[in-house]
Amino acid sequence: MTRVNILKRLSCGVIAAVFALAGSYAAAEKWDMPLAYSATNYHSMNAANFAAAITQATGGELEVVTHPSGSLYKGGEIFRAVRTGQTPIGERLISALGNEHPIFEVDALPFLATSFDAAWKLYQASRPVMEQVLESKGLKLLYAVPWPPQGLYNANPVNSAADMKGVKFRAYNAATSKLAELMGAVPTKIEAAEISQAFATGVAESMISSGSTGYDRKLWEHVKYWYDVQAWLPKNMVIVNLEAWSTLDASTQGIVIGAAAMAEQSGWAKAEELANWYKEQLAANGMQISPPSDQLVVDFKTIGETMTNDWLEKAGDEGKSVVESYNSM
């Protein structure tokens, strides 16, 4: 069954039934929800709608309040904050958690899943293992939403991987650090909220990211080129602390799950809708938008195969089962 058909099964009737669940609430509760990205980013807007839906459906008995732009916790702090119960719920880029478990890195293996339908299949193949890993860490996965396909930002023209030698490359996870090293670039860890400053000060000169990130951070002020390499479609996931989850009654849990289903559906649709729009906006602001050269395609394919094989060795049988499941869909 295709992603579109699966999402269509989340009919308005089913979700309305979930939200119609009535329960008695012991006391009103407030959940602060940290987000790493700006309030105008579609991930943050989607999360704000998710939060509002819960607050409204529970009559304010569970109030969820979002805090975008890393204002409550920075991106790199959110996972730990939710895990340790400092905050009950939050959003984090999945592939940034490779140090927690190899399964999270599957989300950013270059050229494994390069379209929205392929990314959805990879999500379905990897979600059961991710849920088990998260549960072992005291967390529950509520929903995940992709970024548009990733492209290469650079200050100068890039015709092959050799042109990236010595370039200061923004990395945000183990995969992008490894990618930089294989290109001969110099990886520098930079969170989303720090991108503009990093490029303005020369700490970073290049990165692989979506058109969305470049638009939000006005990268045209610092770099001129964006190559539509469609390397992968990373996802953000919203997680909840299991202890906090257990304090909710069954009716409230049902409302949250229903809101999560709607957020996942709307988030995937919005990401796909905006993918070309972001590229148009980069071009309108003076960036040169181009497909990768034939040599760059060959170089990236070789790098992608190397990274996938390395990951399979690290991820073991779990990783192998995920990739086999994905390939069989």
Does 165 share its domain with 30?
Answer: no
Does 51 share its domain with 116?
Answer: yes
> Is the C-alpha dihedral spanning 305, 310, 311, 313 positive or negative?
positive
Average pLDDT, rounded, for the chain: 92
- pLDDT-based confidence at 325, cuts 50/70/90? very high
- pLDDT-based confidence at 174, cuts 50/70/90? confident
> Is the C-alpha dihedral spanning 175, 180, 182, 183 positive or negative?
positive
Q: Which two tokens stand for residue 254?
A: 């049902």
Q: Across residues 87-112, what is the average pLDDT?
A: 94
Nearest to 257 by CA among 146, 143, 144: 143
Q: Quick check: 293 pLDDT over 50?
A: yes
Go through 47-60 and write b for each residue having 16 or more CB atoms within 10 A of its CB, e for each that does not. Answer: bbbbbebbbebbee
Q: Quick check: 10 pLDDT over 80?
A: no
d(CA 329, CA 5): 14
Each residue of 212-223: pLDDT tens digit?
999 999 999 999
Q: What is the pLDDT of residue 3?
A: 61
Element containing residue 5 per DSSP (H, E): helix 3-8
Each residue of 142-168: pLDDT tens digit?
999 999 999 999 999 999 999 999 999
Per the CB < 8 A criterion, the answer to whether 322 and 126 are in contact is yes
User: Is residue 321 classed exposed, middle or buried when 0-12, 13-18 and 19+ CB atoms within 10 A define those classes?
Assistant: middle
Q: What is the pLDDT of residue 28?
A: 86
Q: What is the pLDDT of residue 189?
A: 94
d(CA 73, CA 81): 8
Q: What is the pLDDT of residue 8?
A: 52
Q: Quick check: 7 pLDDT over 60?
A: no
Question: Mapping DSSP to helix (H, G, I), strand (E, B) and coil, where does residue 314 land?
Answer: helix
By DSSP bridging, strand 29-34 and strand 206-209 are unpaired
Q: Quick check: 81 pLDDT over 90?
A: yes
Q: Quick check: 303 pLDDT over 70?
A: yes
Does 319 share its domain with 244?
Answer: no
d(CA 90, CA 261): 16
Does 139 share its domain with 82?
Answer: yes
Backbone angles phi, psi at 157, to 5 degrees: -60, 145
Does 160 share its domain with 284?
Answer: yes
Does 222 share its domain with 96?
Answer: no
d(CA 56, CA 262): 14
Each residue of 131-143: pLDDT tens digit?
999 999 999 999 9
Element containing residue 20 per DSSP (H, E): none
Q: Quick check: 11 pLDDT over 90?
A: no
d(CA 21, CA 325): 35
Does 68 share its domain with 181?
Answer: no
Does 17 share its domain with 98?
Answer: yes
Domain that holds residue 283: 151-231+278-327
Q: Quick check: 26 pLDDT over 90?
A: no
- pLDDT-based confidence at 175, cuts 50/70/90? confident
Residue that has been written with the tokens 């009919």 in this structure? 11
Does 180 share its domain with 289?
Answer: yes
Percent of the chain at pLDDT > 70 equals: 92
d(CA 229, CA 9): 32
Q: What is the pLDDT of residue 193?
A: 85
Q: Quick check: 294 pLDDT over 80?
A: yes
Q: What is the pLDDT of residue 172?
A: 87
Question: How many distinct structural domains can be found in the chain?
Answer: 2
Does 38 share its domain with 109?
Answer: yes
Q: What is the pLDDT of residue 21?
A: 47
Residues with Cβ < 8 Å from 174, sequence gap 6 or more? Answer: 98, 99, 105
Q: Quick check: 22 pLDDT over 80?
A: no
Percent of the chain at pLDDT > 90 equals: 88
Each residue of 245-289: pLDDT tens digit?
999 999 999 999 999 999 999 999 999 999 999 999 999 999 999
Q: Across residues 189-193, what is the average pLDDT?
A: 89
DSSP strand E in the chain: where?
29-34, 62-67, 89-93, 139-146, 151-154, 168-171, 186-189, 206-209, 225-227, 235-241, 288-290
Does 65 share its domain with 188?
Answer: no
Q: What pairs with residue 63 in β-bridges?
A: 30
Residues with Cβ < 8 Å from 300, sequence gap 6 or more? Answer: 110, 111, 161, 229, 231, 292
Query: What CATH number does the domain containing 20 carry?
Result: 3.40.190.170
Rounded to a whole number of angstroms, the CA Rg of the chain reads 20
Does 121 share its domain with 260?
Answer: yes
Q: Quick check: 103 pLDDT over 70?
A: yes
